[in-house]
Amino acid sequence: MTASTVLLITSDSALAQTVCKLVEAIPNLCLTHTTTYEEGCRHVHRHGTALVLAHLGQGARASQVSGVLQTVAASSRPTATVVLSDQPQAEQTLALLRQGVVDCLDRPLDLHRLSYLLDALTLRARYRAPEPPLPQKAPTPTALGEINSFLYIPSTPMGRLVEQVQRVAPQQTTILLGGETGTGKTRLARLIHEISPRRDQPFLVVNCAALPENLMESEMFGHVKGAFTGADRDRAGKFAEAGRGTLFLDEIDSLPLALQAKLLRVVEERTFEPVGSNRSQPMQARLIVASNRCLQGEATAGRFRADLHYRLNVVGFFLPPLRERRGLIRPLAERLLAEFAAENGREVNGITLEALEALEAYHWPGNIRELRNVIERAVALCPGTEVQLDDVSESLRPVGQDQAVHAMAPRQSAPAPARTVTTLARTKQEAESLGIVEALKRNQNNRLRAAAELGISRMTLYKKLHRYGLMATAEA
């Protein structure tokens, strides 16, 4: 057991005395009192605290509470904030709750409610046992070399990025990865795991966009038997399965706001509760998250919690698109060629200069993922031992060019029924693809709202985006 602190920010002496009496009745809890928000923010920054009680009295503004929330988020400590308001306003209360305030209590205070919050919100801080440290092992030269080759391009900023990745990898710090789809965020997360002391522990990937919304919470936190219809046994979620390894949450912006709030508590307190259970479990894994959207912009638009963004963006790395890392194309293409040739038993051992130049000149809207697909196709179709320009050029042809070539070619006679079926199928696909694109535009690329408008589930929309090659459009 360790003594924890409640910080009270108020200039009202009567309120301070009342809170002091409540705090004294709770074991392992003490009170720190500041009369100004500036002093309160300095205390949070320097010393930390288990709970902040922010008084909105005469002269106090909601923006000052927002400043406290930002300071708490920057401190990377599990700290909750409760507002005590003299003159409650519904809109102001709602705005504060959206920013991450746990509760807003009106005066005269409900002392039973305040006492419960003081006890419940500091309980884990007062009784938390420290985790034993992970054994420190030096990263292998192979893993360090792959970090360099994966990130490096001849530029000073990328050199600094390599240094920062290597410096933060051994720590427990939460990492936020940004960049276009296909730039290698999952690969970078795995490399960070491999050069960390956690490399002997699990590395789990959760694609948040691919999870059915009604099962998201269960998939992430697990559930107990009887928690909902069909829950016939206890089931561990990804947070438990990751153990002391690394949990990578991809497309984090796809999480509904309600689940974002629960994830915030996990990040802050490093504990979680399975669905249907009131027993907390420790979250021991290192958390890495990724998004191909600007989370700051998503938070401004109200689609992502600002307080969660602050918590996740402790250390952030942005991966430039492949068109800005052209020096990576040649070594990556050669490595992928060797990988696919070995996997498929093909004696393809090289790639011509013409083919490499074509790859380097291409703009790669699908980034590394698209390059991987092009090389895999070239290895599969290459008739000789060396990939030629013709083996890659068809994959690099702009969308629609193949249809134009077929339109200019002489028409072959074919049975009328077969031609009609093909045309109808193609027309249906084109209409469906166009409808999806328009729905995404109307909903500012929000997949959940677009799926609702189209009358399909988000999982179905996700599959159709892949089927029609619209993932790049959905991420634009």
Summarised one tens digit per residue, pLDDT across range 345-372 is: 999 989 999 999 999 889 898 898 899 9
Looking at the domain 141-320, which fold is it? Rossmann fold (3.40.50)
The full set of domain ranges for the chain reads 4-127, 141-320, 323-393, 415-475
Can you give the chain as a three-state secondary structure string?
CCCEEEEEECCCHHHHHHHHHHHHCCCCEEEEEECCHHHHHHHHHHHCCCEEEEEECCCCCHHHHHHHHHHHHHHCCCCEEEEEECCCCHHHHHHHHHHCCCEEEECCCCHHHHHHHHHHHHHHHHHCCCCCCCCCCCCCHHHHHHHHHHHCCCCHHHHHHHHHHHHHCCCCCCEEEECCCCCCHHHHHHHHHHCCCCCCCCEEEEEHHHCCHHHHHHHHHCECCCCCCCCCCCECCHHHHCCCCEEEEECHHHCCHHHHHHHHHHHHHCEECCECCCCCEECCCEEEEEECCCHHHHHHCCCCCHHHHHHHCCEEEECCCHHHCHHHHHHHHHHHHHHHHHHHCCCCCEECHHHHHHHHHCCCCCHHHHHHHHHHHHHHHCCCCEECHHHHHCCCCCCCHHHHHHHHCCCCCCCHHHHHHHHHHHHHHHHHHHHHHHHHHHCCCCHHHHHHHHCCCHHHHHHHHHHCCCHHHHHC
Tell me the pLDDT band of 476, cut-offs 50, 70 and 90.
low
Stretch among 12-26, 33-47, 118-132, 219-233 having the lowest mean pLDDT:
118-132
Q: Which residue has the higher pLDDT, 2 or 72?
A: 72
State the average pLDDT for the chain. Answer: 81
Q: What number is the average pLDDT over the span 174-194? A: 90
**Confidence at residue 411, expressed as pLDDT on a 0 to 100 scale:** 41
CATH top-level class of 415-475: mainly alpha
**Confidence at residue 359, expressed as pLDDT on a 0 to 100 scale:** 92
pLDDT surpassing 80 at residue 405: no
pLDDT digits (tens, 9 = 90+) for 231-246: 888 889 999 999 999 9
Same fold, 4-127 and 141-320: yes
- Stated pTM of the model: 0.58
* CATH architecture of structural domain 323-393: Orthogonal Bundle (1.10)
Looking at the domain 4-127, which fold is it? Rossmann fold (3.40.50)
pLDDT surpassing 50 at residue 132: yes
